[in-house]
A and B are shown apart, each in its own frame.
Chain A
Amino acid sequence: MAPLNHYIILATIIFSLGVIGFVTRRNALILFMSVELMLNSINLMLVAFSRFKADMAGQVMAIFIYAVAAAEVAVGLAILIAISRHIKEIDVTKFNLLKW
């Protein structure tokens, strides 16, 4: 059984990969995938803590994160389709309609 620290370091690395992807990529779809990476790393941490404290509440919290992630992806992708209908682009550096 790997100690809790290993799981924490793994989840931290995956979270940071998500943050780096979110800041450095330009494709809006890949930004969504980076957000998914971050949410997943939080889930891993919750489940790991729930295992090591022998308390199942962590798994229940992870289920709520699933619900939030599903809602976020559905609404976000709908917004992306609505935007790309207007400006025919999915490059986030081109989304500057509200800039002044």
Chain B
Amino acid sequence: MDLIFWFFAFMAVSAGLLTITAKDPLPCALSLMSVFIAFSGLYLHLHAPLMAIFQVTIYAGAILVLVLFVMMLLTTPGERLKSIQKNVPFRIMGAQLGLCLTALLGFGMKGISDLVVQARLPDGFGHPSSFGTLFFKDYLLHFEVASVLLLVALVGSIYLGKKSL
């Protein structure tokens, strides 16, 4: 029994359920934040402290605040949308899709995971220094491409946000 895993897994699944079922967008965003926090706890448990920090700063810090700001721009307090589609075929399709995906991915990935033997962790696994060495040596080109992608997204979102498009 791994109590830390079960605690954060329960937190993530229940907050994820709340994310897709709550009526207003604001509770959705806040429960999404608890999913992110639970995931960062799991990352710490998986010996990835740097990923846990990035999870909190980038996701719970930057992306969620962006979503909340857009929510303030777009929705007035009294406005509510019906929690799910009125269209029944959409709901049935969603439920079927979810069940099929869970079954398919679960079985498929279980086959892969049986091939993975748990390796002993080398010294310095997950430390920022070994992460930085790997990131800026072996994956330098990928890093540059990602920076170009972010630049393009920056320019594009500024252009799209103009008053008169």
Chain B residue with Cβ nearest A77:
B70
Majority secondary structure, A binding face: helix
CB B53 to nearest CB in A, in angstroms, measures 11
Contacting B at CB under 8 A, from A32-89, are: 32-34, 36-37, 40, 43-45, 47-57, 59-60, 62-64, 66-75, 77-82, 84-85
| Interface size, B (range) | 35 or more
Report Cα–Cα, A23/B95, bound state, in Å: 9
Cβ–Cβ contact B19 & A75, under 8 A: no
Cβ–Cβ contact A44 & B66, under 8 A: no
Residues of A within 8 A of B98 (CB): 16-17, 19-20
Cβ–Cβ contact A17 & B16, under 8 A: yes
Cβ–Cβ contact B135 & A29, under 8 A: no
Cβ–Cβ contact A74 & B35, under 8 A: no
| Interface size, A (range) | 35 or more
Residues of A within 8 A of B150 (CB): 67, 70-71
Cβ–Cβ contact A29 & B74, under 8 A: yes
Report Cα–Cα, A64/B70, bound state, in Å: 24
Residues of A within 8 A of B36 (CB): 40
Chain B residue with Cβ nearest A67:
B146
Cβ–Cβ contact A27 & B13, under 8 A: no
Specify which of A52, A60, A80 is in contact with B74 (CB 8 Å cutoff): A80
Cβ–Cβ contact A64 & B39, under 8 A: no
The 7 closest A-B pairs by CB, nearest first: A21-B20, A71-B153, A23-B94, A78-B160, A54-B119, A2-B5, A78-B157
